[in-house]
Chain A
């Protein structure tokens, strides 16, 4: 059998592990190693199981909570609040942000209001929100909305301001009216910034929903964690933390995919 000279590299590539795959393996192995170490340290008594229950125990609790349906019910409650909060805060922020980017009068009018209210910790406003919107769903949704509003607003505005002015010149020269400029130039041009705003908003929304649900809620992941503290079920607390972390991870993955889809001009280089 004769071997063609060109076939060697192919064979080598198949048998060896490329640097890329090796990195991927390491990044999968590292959390598993950490969990294993944790498990061992708890079992030999170096880590206090009252504060750091063994991963196997947490996993058992996870299965129990899935079976009795309470995990899903709480997750669903949080997801719904996040969704409505996102809509209520994100959509107006998007429109107002782009409008502020296009119109300097509007920017001069609203920018100071944003600058002065942005630094207030959103958690500090919660008592006021409770007072106004009561203990029902509305107060949680409003909390998420406030958290999402600022990053989306500021990033949409920045996105429009950073659009190269030549594009606006083209719009003007080719007779685009206000709405057409908004739709064909300002929005698509600002989309990359808007997406980073949305990502920040998701993170903020998760933080705020957890806080809001710890006070005055009868459902949700925040409630589940708080309730677990009150009845000293440390494993349940960990399950709550894991699910929140997982949600954050899934959201960010989905948004990255969405980004690739709606910004095709940045996809292939």
Chain B
């Protein structure tokens, strides 16, 4: 197992952008009461710089594990992670968690400023940057509120503002909208796209929603059910900037969703029979 930071030396296999993240034969096993479980099996992947990269897969396919390894919260059993070194003074990555990750003892502003504060940035910079992202996420009025006073959708906005304010090289997003209702999800997807357009950072976004993957992503990796492997990688041809609703009205959108869902359905069914099998035994 090794996680290395390298400088520009990474070459692309296709396209014109340099590679930001390179995974080689990444495998992760967990030891559980019922013996070892392989969450990730031999995943190799190149993610170009500035790519909005989506990962879809049935639940339990190890997509969160993959993200946690990149976030430095987990270590792979074998294989390597190479990430091109961030510009001086900039953090490598920041994660937007699924939900419930805001500190209840901090106000909205303090939560959003967390990364900058930990890096001891000057106060003026913190106020400016955090102020910007709070206003971009429509939270300026709530900067002194505590998380429990906000709705689930607003809490996830704070979580997004926290990650963007930290100005990382790579954004890691772990099903950030999965707990939200359909309307809120749509609004936040639009918001996320607008904010992302400002900087076009490399994003690694995990979802179980094919719609979300096609709406947001440049490229989609479909994962197999446990153990998680790369099933297919699909390019999303739609131009940017995108308007979510207009995009969804396009016939090509429906076709792409349909073809990806066809791939995914086999895996979801496989995951289901696995579950049923484990219940019976």
Contact = CB atoms under 8 A, between A and B. Distances in A.
B72 A176 contact: no
A191 B97 contact: no
A173 B95 contact: yes
Contact of A175 (B73, B105, B115, B148): B115
Nearest to B92: A175
Contact of B104 (A172, A173, A265, A268): A265
B118 A167 contact: no
Given A172-B72, A175-B91, A184-B103, A265 B148 contact: yes
A263 B162 CA distance: 22
A174 B114 contact: yes
Given A264-B146, A268-B149, A170 B166 contact: no
A191 to B, nearest CB: 7
Q: What is the interface of chain B mostly: helix, strand, loop, or mixed?
A: loop
A169 interface: yes
Interface string B89-128: 0010111010011011110000000110111000000000
A175 B146 contact: no
Contacts of A180: 118
Contacts of A174: 91, 94, 114-115, 118, 162, 166
Contacts of A268: 149
B159 to A, nearest CB: 9
A188 interface: yes
Interface in B232-248: none
Interface in A63-120: none
- Chain A interface size, as a band, is 20 to 34
A200 interface: no
Contacts of B95: 169-170, 173
B93 A173 contact: yes
B71 interface: yes
Nearest to B95: A173
A175 B149 contact: no
B100 A173 contact: no
A159 to B, nearest CB: 12
B147 interface: yes
A55 to B, nearest CB: 46
A175 B119 contact: yes
Contacts of A189: 103, 105
Interface residues of B, number: 25
Contacts of A2: none
B118 A176 contact: yes
A269 B148 contact: yes
A263 B106 CA distance: 10
Between A166, A172, A174, A191, the greatest number of chain B beta carbons within 10 A of the residue's beta carbon is seen for A174
B139 to A, nearest CB: 17
Interface string A160-202: 0000101101111111110010001100110100000000000
Contacts of A170: 95, 97, 101, 103, 114
B146 A173 contact: no
A166 B100 contact: yes
A265 B97 contact: no
Contacts of A185: 103
Given A175-B91, A176-B118, A169 B100 contact: no
A233 to B, nearest CB: 51
A169 B118 contact: no
Interface in B156-170: 162, 166
B215 to A, nearest CB: 26
A155 to B, nearest CB: 17
A243 B148 CA distance: 41
Contacts of B117: 184
Interface string A242-269: 0000000000000000000001110011
A46 to B, nearest CB: 56
A164 B100 contact: yes
A184 B118 CA distance: 9
B72 A265 contact: no
Nearest to A268: B149
Nearest to B147: A265
Contacts of A264: 105, 146
A174 B72 CA distance: 10
A72 B162 CA distance: 54
Q: List the 3 closest A-B pairs by CB distance, nearest first.
A: A188-B105, A174-B115, A265-B104
Given A175-B118, A184-B118, 10 more contacts: A164-B100, A166-B101, A169-B71, A170-B101, A173-B94, A174-B91, A174-B115, A184-B103, A184-B114, A185-B103
8 contacts: A166-B101, A167-B101, A169-B73, A173-B73, A188-B103, A264-B146, A265-B104, A269-B148
